[in-house]
Amino acid sequence: MDTVRLVEPGRLERFQSAEPGAPGPGEALVQVRSIGICGTDVHAFFGRQPFFDYPRILGHELGVEVIAVGEGVDGLSIGARCAVLPYLECGTCVPCRRGRPNCCANLRVLGVHIDGGMRERMLVPADKLFFHPDLGFDQLALVETLGIGAHAVARAGIEAGETVVVVGLGPIGLGALQAARARGAEVLAVDAAPTRLRFARDVFGVERTFEAGEDLEERLMDALDGDLPTAVLDATGHPASMDRAPSLCAPSGRVVFVGLHKGDVRFPDALFHRRELTLLASRNGTAAEFREVLAGMASGAIDTAPWITHETRLDRIAEDLPGFADPASGVLKAVLRIDA
Ligand SMILES: [Zn+2]
Ligand SMILES: [Zn+2]
């Protein structure tokens, strides 16, 4: 079957791989229909992804169709359209035992640590499939990306009526923005790039946007009649922005670091204490957020229309992928589609 793998940095190779065979107990055989391309794939392509083993079949943002199920699989019929939770946890480490499998110490991610979805068919554990009858394959392929933002919102426990600021309007920040709104929060948006602010206003309908900068705290207070947001979700991965994040948060509020960087985070303890802030890290989503995103998409609370800006195929991905890394391409999310 038609397959694409990353042989080494810079070289995607299309080849014919063996069929995956029949699903074993607890497994499903799926036809891959839509694959979101993300920063992880681009970093792997350019050899910038730490701890990445080559060769690897990329693809962890998947919209799939069930074509066979193994023994003991209930509630999944042939033809079911599903999103795939691509994180495989060990089940025995401390976070797994505590019900926090997304923090598994031995986490393996499809398309990163083990082969992913850039192929026509694959076997997946059936409990990693999230079925929704009303969503298309491109929407299902978006669930993983949006699940990361939804997890940040869940970490903060965002509630209806809150005023929240999202800093950093890349795909993860925009996912957090949509998840916070779906919970009924009012969302302000910050980015350093005017083009992204315009995109957030024009395409995502964000009314209040702010350019990042020194006096951001004052500008937010001006906009909020002297108050500050009760939650700050920072999806920049930018040191200066993360250092500043606590200063943007109202006393008693929560600061969530969704993005990450390699260095240290520094902010004044006096401010952190005086405001009695809660600081949270947020990484990949969980089954709960997958369900939340699916429900939000189905109800229309999460609008997927603005998301897919570029499209490719297995026979074109090798030439298209480098372009998806270029900010000038205006890519928000590219999808690779495979016909059944
Ligand atoms: Zn991704
Ligand atoms: Zn574990």
Looking only at the bridges linking them, the beta strands covering 186-191 and 209-211 are parallel
**Tens-place pLDDT, residues 40-96:** 999 999 998 877 899 999 999 999 999 999 999 999 999 999 999 999 999 999 999
CA of 234 to the centre of ligand 2 (A): 27
Residue 113's identity, in one-letter code, is H
* Nearest bound ligand to the CA of residue 284: 1
Residue 302's identity, in one-letter code, is I
Strand partners, 270: none
CA of 170 to the centre of ligand 2 (A): 29
pLDDT at residue 193, as a whole number: 95
Strand partners, 189: 166, 209
Write the burial class of residue 309 (CB in 10 Å: 0-12 exposed, 13-18 middle, 19+ buried).
middle
* Nearest bound ligand to the CA of residue 61: 1
CA of 44 to the centre of ligand 2 (A): 24
CA of 70 to the centre of ligand 2 (A): 24
Write out the residues surrounding ion ligand 1, Cβ under 5 A: 38
pLDDT at residue 296, as a whole number: 97
169 SS3 class: coil
Looking only at the bridges linking them, the beta strands covering 308-312 and 333-337 are parallel
Residue 314's identity, in one-letter code, is L
Other CB atoms within 10 A of residue 269 CB? 9
Q: Are 36 and 310 in contact (CB under 8 A)?
A: no
**Whole-angstrom distance between the N-terminal and C-terminal Cα of the chain?**
12
pLDDT at residue 49, as a whole number: 82
Q: Mark the ranges of the chain whose per-residue pLDDT is less than 70.
A: none
pLDDT at residue 43, as a whole number: 93
Strand partners, 27: 125
304 φ, ψ (degrees, to nearest 5) = -95, -5
- Ranges of H-type helices in the chain: 39-45, 94-97, 137-156, 171-182, 194-202, 216-223, 239-244, 269-274, 287-299, 317-324
CA of 147 to the centre of ligand 1 (A): 10
* Nearest bound ligand to the CA of residue 104: 2
Other CB atoms within 10 A of residue 316 CB? 13
Looking only at the bridges linking them, the beta strands covering 254-257 and 231-234 are parallel
pLDDT at residue 326, as a whole number: 87
CA of 130 to the centre of ligand 2 (A): 21
CA of 285 to the centre of ligand 2 (A): 15
pLDDT at residue 328, as a whole number: 85
Give residue 157's Cα distance to chain centre. Answer: 18
Q: Both tokens of residue 11? A: 């070289």
180 Cβ contact partners less than 8 Å away, ≥ 6 residues apart: 153, 158, 164, 166, 187, 231, 233
Q: What are the structural domains, with CATH classification, of the chain? A: 2-131+307-337 (3.90.180.10), 149-281 (3.40.50.720)
Write the burial class of residue 15 (CB in 10 Å: 0-12 exposed, 13-18 middle, 19+ buried).
exposed
Q: What angle do CA 302, 195, 212 make, to 5 degrees?
A: 90
pLDDT at residue 52, as a whole number: 87
2 SS3 class: strand
Q: Are 45 and 319 in contact (CB under 8 A)?
A: no
Q: What angle do CA 288, 291, 297 make, to 5 degrees?
A: 140
CA of 106 to the centre of ligand 2 (A): 5
Looking only at the bridges linking them, the beta strands covering 254-257 and 163-167 are unpaired
pLDDT at residue 62, as a whole number: 98
**Helix, strand counts (H, E) of the chain:** 10, 17
